[in-house]
Amino acid sequence: MNEGLKSCGKPSRGRYVQGCRCYMCRVANSEYALAHSHGENERRVYGYYSVYRLRNRVTKLLDNGWTKRGICREAQVPRSTLATLMNGHRNTPMKRDGEKKLTCKVSADFYNKVMALPLHPKKRADGELVDAAPVNAALDALYARGITPYSVAKESGIPLSTIYQMGEKKKCTYKTMKRLALASDRLRELVSA
């Protein structure tokens, strides 16, 4: 098809694959083949063992105070890629035992960016969600000493509605935890005085 023509009007390698043999499509195909032979068309991809190491590294980062959002922000990688690494792709079928198949390939760029992160985060954001169990335990201890939720709110600066809801929540913001930690000594002094 188009063998004698100089150009078909829209020369590209894709049109060459579709069957066009005009001069410009043949040039586009040969340029692609040359780039491919020198490895320019291929993205470097790491395999199973690298993905296993990366998944362990992300787990350690999460255990040391990082959040998934924080990892993606610092490493400048997409959150969807990190979610796919940790949980499997949303369109991947389940295994027979009901578990998702985890990915076994990752790009070299993604691998290098995440592995370069320090193990401990620089600073926690005030809006970061943390486990509320220590906060609930501290509130229960304060209530046992006779301190009212209103006193806790007044002394710590935490809204009273947040304090009332704390017993039901499994997560709270880092700011709430920090405020309660700063105010708990003052609150204990009020009881002993």
Question: Which residue reads 């610092």 in tokens?
Answer: 74
170 burial type by CB count under 10 A (0-12 exposed, 13-18 middle, 19+ buried)? exposed
Give the separation between CA 124 and CA 145, rounded to whole angstroms: 31
Name 5's Cβ contacts closer than 8 Å, sequence gap at least 6. 22, 23
Give pLDDT tens digits for 124-165: 777 888 888 888 888 888 888 888 889 889 888 999 988 888
Can you read off the two tokens belonging to residue 49? 């063992």
Beta bridge partners of 107: 45
Q: Which pLDDT band holds residue 192 (cuts at 50, 70, 90)?
A: low
Residue 117 pLDDT exceeds 70: yes
| pLDDT over 90 percentage in the chain | 11
Residue 36 pLDDT exceeds 80: no
Name 73's Cβ contacts closer than 8 Å, sequence gap at least 6. none
Residue 171 pLDDT exceeds 60: yes
DSSP 8-state assignment for residue 132: S
Task: Return the pLDDT at 4.
Answer: 79
Class of domain 129-192: mainly alpha
- Name residue 109's amino acid: D
Helix intervals (H) in 22-173: 23-37, 48-63, 68-75, 79-87, 108-115, 133-144, 149-156, 160-165
Give the separation between CA 93 and CA 100, rounded to whole angstroms: 7
Helix intervals (H) in 64-132: 68-75, 79-87, 108-115
DSSP 8-state assignment for residue 92: S
Q: Which pLDDT band holds residue 166 (cuts at 50, 70, 90)?
A: confident
Domain ranges for the chain: 1-42, 45-115, 129-192
Give the separation between CA 20 and CA 42, rounded to whole angstroms: 25
Give the separation between CA 115 and CA 123, rounded to whole angstroms: 19
Both ends of the chain: CA-CA distance in Å? Answer: 96
Task: Return the pLDDT at 190.
Answer: 72
Q: Which pLDDT band holds residue 35 (cuts at 50, 70, 90)?
A: confident
